[in-house]
């Protein structure tokens, strides 16, 4: 069997890779063992996975779960193989995400996933594909990748439990207040450090939180991801500097944390309707200040 892996992203929080499997035979292969907890998104093709004597179909309509150390066997009775994208998360993050529905997750570190697979709805499939395309393009930054990966994990786990009639645990009033305070601390930190390319882990450590917990409560309290919130701060700072007459757009982009002039220009155009070069050349100071006020009032998130 030909098995090719392409690493798309790696950090302490998540690793993402493409896996291309081209089997030589259609029948069930030898026993394999998962070396990590994995969430696998098939993109094309189909295979059968056998775990503990039970066999099920894995195709692009499903997401498959692999527990660290589990024994399994795969077969490819139709087609010529499969192409998948696999996500490996830190066990602590998995325990938190799964613990929203299953409080005993921490008691079974080698069987965090209670289910072998779950149906993947259209939103999840498109979300995963968009994230993968951004990784392949090379324009995605660490904060966006890690937030998006955790969002994807949370959506898949939520579907797995809700499909089986299991609801999340309820939050107490004191917990809701603590979440609001945590969100405010994070907003203050981002306002101070928005030009730095910090990872989700960096931000979580700075405000004494876990990555999943922080990503979840920040989005719930603000209606935005931290990546979106930070980018809005960058764009408003850019507009202010253009008002003040800054001419070097490349230097402005890099100083504010954008990966390149083109990345900055694309984000600016989506936010304000014109590229920064045109804004700098032709817009009046009055118009620029008015646009800044509009953006501040709207609270709109631009990625």
- Which single residue is written with the structure tokens 């969430």? 39
| 133 domain-assigned | yes
* Structure confidence by residue, pLDDT tens digits, 273-287: 888 887 766 555 555
Q: Is the pLDDT of residue 226 over 80?
A: yes
CB 80 within 8 A of CB 19: no
156 and 33 fall within a common domain:
yes
Co-location of 81 and 59 in the same domain: yes
pLDDT band for position 209 (cuts 50, 70, 90): very high
Q: Cα–Cα distance between 265 and 262 in angstroms, integer?
A: 5
User: Is there a single domain that holds both residue 275 and residue 195?
Assistant: no
Which one-letter DSSP state was computed for residue 171?
P
pLDDT (mean) for 209-231: 94
Residue 228 inside a domain? The answer is no
Are residues 110 and 31 part of one domain?
yes
Number of residues written out for the chain: 303
Q: In the predicted model, is pLDDT for residue 293 greater than 70?
A: no
Domain co-membership, 127 together with 250: no
Residue 175's pLDDT is what? 76
Q: What is the pLDDT of residues 240-283, one digit of tens each?
A: 888 778 889 999 999 999 989 999 999 999 888 888 887 766 55
CA–CA separation, 83 vs 46, rounded Å? 9
Q: Which domain holds residue 206?
A: 173-223
Q: Judge residue 206's burial from the number of C-beta atoms within 10 Å of its C-beta, 0-12 exposed, 13-18 middle, 19 or more buried.
A: middle
H helix runs in the chain, sequence order: 91-99, 122-137, 142-162, 173-193, 200-206, 211-222, 226-243, 249-255, 261-272, 276-282, 285-298
Answer yes or no: is 155 within a domain: yes
For residues 215 and 172, which has the higher predicted lDDT (pLDDT)? 215
Instruction: List the strands of the sheet with 71-75, edge to edge.
Output: 32-33, 71-75, 47-51, 54-58
| 256 and 210 within one domain | no
Domain count, the chain: 3
- pTM assigned to the model: 0.84
What is the mean predicted confidence (pLDDT) over 28-47?
94
Q: What is the pLDDT of residue 286?
A: 57
Last residue of a domain, one of 142, 162, 182: 162
């Amino acid at each position: 069997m030909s098995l090719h892996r392409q690493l798309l992203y790696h950090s302490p929080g998540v690793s993402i890779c493409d896996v291309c499997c081209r089997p030589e035979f259609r029948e069930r292969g030898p026993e394999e063992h998962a070396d990590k907890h994995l969430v696998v998104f098939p993109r094309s093709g189909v295979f059968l996975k056998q775990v503990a004597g039970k066999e099920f179909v894995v195709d692009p309509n499903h997401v498959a779960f692999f527990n660290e150390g589990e024994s399994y066997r795969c077969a490819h009775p139709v087609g010529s193989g499969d192409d998948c994208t696999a996500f490996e998360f830190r066990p602590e993050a998995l325990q938190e995400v799964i613990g929203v529905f299953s409080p005993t997750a921490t008691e079974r570190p080698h069987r965090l996933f209670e289910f072998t697979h779950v149906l993947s709805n259209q939103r999840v499939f498109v979300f995963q594909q968009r994230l993968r395309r951004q990784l392949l393009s090379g324009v995605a930054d660490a904060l966006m990748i890690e937030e998006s990966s955790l969002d994807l994990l949370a959506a898949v786990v939520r579907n797995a439990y809700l499909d089986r009639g299991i609801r999340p645990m309820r939050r107490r009033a004191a917990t809701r207040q603590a979440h609001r305070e945590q969100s405010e601390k994070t907003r203050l930190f981002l306002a101070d450090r928005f030009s730095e390319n910090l990872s989700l882990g960096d931000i979580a450590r700075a405000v004494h939180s876990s990555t999943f917990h922080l990503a979840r409560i920040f989005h719930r309290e603000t209606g935005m991801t931290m990546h979106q919130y930070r980018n809005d701060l960058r764009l408003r700072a850019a507009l202010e500097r253009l008002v003040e007459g800054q001419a070097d757009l490349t230097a402005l982009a890099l100083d504010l944390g954008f990966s390149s002039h083109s990345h900055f220009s694309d984000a600016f155009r989506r936010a304000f309707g014109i590229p920064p070069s045109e804004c700098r050349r032709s817009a009046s100071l009055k118009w620029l200040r008015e646009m800044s006020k509009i953006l501040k009032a709207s609270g709109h998130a631009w990625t």
